[in-house]
Amino acid sequence: MTTADDLIALVRTYNPNSNQALLRDAFAFGAEMHEGQFRHSGEPYFTHPVAVAGILAEQQMDDATLVTALLHDTIEDTKASFGVVEKRFGREIAELVDGVTKLTNLQLTSTQTKQAENFRKLFMATSRDLRVTLVKLADRLHNMRTIKSMRPEKQAQKARETMDIFAPLAGRMGMQWMREELEDLSFRVLNPEGRNSIIRRFITLQRETGDVIQKITADMRVEMEKANITADVIGRAKKPYSIWRKMQEKEQGFSRLADIYGFRIIVATEADCYRVLGAIHQRWRAVPGRFKDYISQPKSNGYRSIHTTVSGRDGKQVEVQIRTREMHEVAETGVAAHWSYKNGERVENRFAVDPVKWISSLTERLDEDQDHDEFLEAVKLEMYQDQVFCFTPKGDVIKLPRGATPIDFAYAIHTRIGSACVGAKVDGLRVPLWTRLKNGQSVEVITAEGQTPQATWIDIAVTGRAKTAIRRSLREEDRERFVRLGRELARVAFENVGKKSTEKALGTAAKALAIDGVEELLARLGSAEITGRKVVTAIYPELEHAQGEEIDQGRAVVGLTPDQIQQRGACCQPVPGERILGITFRGHGVVVHAIDCAALADYEDQPERWIDLRWQDGTHGAVNTVTFDATIANDSGVLGRICTLIGEQNANISDLKFIDRKPDYFRLLIDVDLRDAEHLHRIQTALEAESNVSTIVRHKDPGLAALGAGTPRREG
Distance between CA atoms of 389 and 392, rounded to whole angstroms?
A: 10
Count other C-beta atoms under 10 Å from residue 174's C-beta: 26
Q: Let me know if 604 is a catalytic residue.
A: no
Distance between CA atoms of 208 and 180, rounded to whole angstroms?
A: 27
Looking from the CA of 108 toward its CB, the CA atoms found within 13 Å total 20
Q: Let me know if 270 is a catalytic residue.
A: no
User: What is the DSSP code (8-state) at residue 589?
Assistant: E
Looking from the CA of 704 toward its CB, the CA atoms found within 13 Å total 16
Q: How far, in whole angstroms, is CA 13 from its chain's centroid?
A: 43
- 615: amino acid identity, one letter: W
Strand partners, 580: 594, 613
In this structure, are residues 26 and 8 in contact, taking their beta carbons and an 8 Å threshold?
A: no
- Strand segments (E) across 376-491: 387-391, 397-401, 421-426, 429-431, 443-447
Among residues 77, 86, 293, 655, the one annotated as catalytic is 77
Q: Give 286's contacts (C-beta < 8 A, 6+ positions apart).
A: 308, 309, 310
Q: Given the DSSP bridges, would you call strands 665-674 and 443-447 parallel, antiparallel or unpaired?
A: unpaired
**Which helix or strand (DSSP H or E) is residue 237 part of?**
strand 232-237
Strand partners, 323: 266
For 186-214, letters b (16+ CB in 10 Å) and e give bbbbbbeebbebbeebbeebeeeeeebbe
Among residues 25, 43, 76, 117, the one annotated as catalytic is 76
Which of 350, 644, 623 is CA-nearest to residue 488? 644
Query: What is the SS3 assignment for 41-107?
Result: CCCECCHHHHHHHHHHHHCCCCHHHHHHHHHCCHHHHCCCCHHHHHHHHCHHHHHHHHHHHHHHHCC
- Strand segments (E) across 295-396: 306-311, 317-324, 341-342, 345-346, 387-391
- Dihedral over alpha carbons 230, 236, 238, 240 (to 10 degrees): -160
Catalytic residues: 76-77
